Structure 1
């Protein structure tokens, strides 16, 4: 894995909504997979837009390449080829820039925000396919929007043999409480304690509201402080720009509205609180645009002057 010399590391933003803004084919339940299947040139353009904004990591567009989004038949027929294509597109976009890394996305393969749907037996072959088809084109693994400890453990175990670093990004409940918890109800403290270390070199939080991320970081920092090898684990945040999502949310039933109250400037103010709380990786998830990422990159520039 290539190294980035200065912190914070700047991630990209939300692929789906950037595709929509570019006029790419975009709808549910296929989400960002629709453009890959119909007009892959839009995927490359979205990657380039985030790179031009200052992203130092671009994430492969494989999040929706699961039966949950594209259907079982299409997944069986085209899933492997589409996953490989997405990884290759990302790699091609950075071929002239050695400072950019490619994160191999491993999605919540049985459904976003639905820990109740998780099954190790059902998830393992899908995760294995994502690993096999991306491993030659990515610098490290980024497991995104993970709702439970069990799902994180499975991904940690399956990525370990690749000899690539793994970043696990959890999604937490959007209601603000004294104790930060995953969508499963398990505490962030317990999740970090059980997952951090070995091949997992970073713990992040994504696809939750901006308001709940600082609490998640505080809990994660506490857990790392209690681990003997926790000092070398990075922490990060890339929030979404959605209204709060509850346990009854159906992730592919419709296109969620973007919040009107979280501007580029407001998002960046939240990002500063994340940095103060211990984050060394920041970026954006659903609804976070290249303009948001450009502002985050300016924070990094100011911090390193």
Structure 2
């Protein structure tokens, strides 16, 4: 747990929406991968914007480098090289940024976000092998993100365990409009059970991302208790929420580009960040729709809170 309200690490924000704002090539199903393929200079600009706004960690633009987004044929031919490009661009920006900026290697959901039932354990290691090989020379830590089940998360964790780098696992939560009840992964697994299993498997950090801010607090509290019960006091705890409008759970991923809420400007998002830090988060940032201006507000707030 953060000992003081200014004792936390700042993660960057959502890459895809920033690339779109910058004018980069952007469409579905490739999403943020399209810019990496066709116009990588925009990826450099996006990373530079986040690093310049105060992010302590920038995340490689490798979220879309999976067969169902860039196509199986392209993935087989170019997946490792594109992962290397994503890692190299982030590394160059981090090395040129003022201060100590680290690079997180993003390992995404391999078979569609939010769809734990689509996970294919026999195919996952092959996909992960290409991503890990391309990213590994450039990253300081691994960020296994937007995981909907422990099955997919632990498979990815196993793929990087021998790298000896810190491994953060970030879960996405059930957050449909009107949701009530204890926090659950999109698979239906209780957060406490998922956290216990992930810490036992060797995760250095547990985060929650790509879900509504409203469901994050209870997840942080549940995770904090599970981490305490594990006896491992070194595990980090973090949140980076999205700014999507609430959607019914039946919505199909990638059917369209989701709309962004108008009530999560930097000032209002900062209120959530402060709450998560009070609840025990030691890493905060943003996911889809959270831009450099949000990260700058978080940085300014952290810098102005007196140390205890």
Report the TM-score when normalising by structure 2: 0.94
Displacement of 1:248 in angstroms is 2.3
Q: Which residue of structure 1 aligns with residue 138 of structure 2?
A: 137
Structure 1 distance, partners of 2:85, 2:65, is: 11
Instruction: Answer yes or no: is 1:200 the counterpart of 2:203.
Output: yes
| Deviations, residues 37-80 of structure 1 (Å, cap 9, x unaligned) | 11100000000000111001000000000011111112122211
Structure 2 distance, partners of 1:219, 1:260, is: 29
- Contact 1:197 1:233 (8 Å CA) reproduced: no
Structure 2 distance, partners of 1:286, 1:145, is: 11
| Deviations, residues 238-261 of structure 1 (Å, cap 9, x unaligned) | 000001244323222211111112
Q: Which residue of structure 2 aligns with residue 120 of structure 1?
A: 121
Runs of 5+ in structure 2 lacking a partner? 1-5
Displacement of 1:220 in angstroms is 0.5
Displacement of 1:197 in angstroms is 4.7
Q: Which residue of structure 2 aligns with residue 3 of structure 1?
A: none
Structure 2 distance, partners of 1:158, 1:43, is: 26
| Deviations, residues 166-185 of structure 1 (Å, cap 9, x unaligned) | 00000000044231000000
Structure 2 distance, partners of 1:171, 1:250, is: 16
Q: Secondary structure at the match of 1:232?
A: coil
After superposition, residues 153-232 of structure 1 pair within 5 angstroms as 153-175=154-176, 176-197=179-200, 199-229=202-232, 231-232=233-234
Q: Which residue of structure 1 aligns with residue 151 of structure 2?
A: 150
After superposition, residues 22-37 of structure 1 pair within 5 angstroms as 22-37=22-37
| Deviations, residues 111-152 of structure 1 (Å, cap 9, x unaligned) | 100001002111111112111111110001000100001111
Structure 2 distance, partners of 1:66, 1:140, is: 20
After superposition, residues 37-48 of structure 1 pair within 5 angstroms as 37-48=37-48
Q: Which residue of structure 1 aligns with residue 101 of structure 2?
A: 100
Structure 1 distance, partners of 2:261, 2:225, is: 31
User: Which residue of 253, 256, 274 maps to 2:255?
Assistant: 253
Q: Secondary structure at the match of 1:219?
A: helix
Instruction: Answer yes or no: is 1:19 the counterpart of 2:22.
Output: no
Mean CA deviation greater in 67-76 or 110-119? 67-76
- Contact 1:264 1:295 (8 Å CA) reproduced: yes
Q: Which residue of structure 1 aligns with residue 287 of structure 2?
A: 285
Structure 2 distance, partners of 1:79, 1:293, is: 30
Q: Secondary structure at the match of 1:94?
A: helix
- Contact 1:29 1:254 (8 Å CA) reproduced: no
Q: Secondary structure at the match of 2:238?
A: strand
How many aligned residue pairs are there?
Answer: 299
| Deviations, residues 220-250 of structure 1 (Å, cap 9, x unaligned) | 0111121122x21110000000012443232
Structure 2 distance, partners of 1:207, 1:189, is: 18
Structure 2 distance, partners of 1:35, 1:94, is: 19
Q: Which residue of structure 1 aligns with residue 3 of structure 2?
A: none
Structure 1 distance, partners of 2:252, 2:31, is: 13
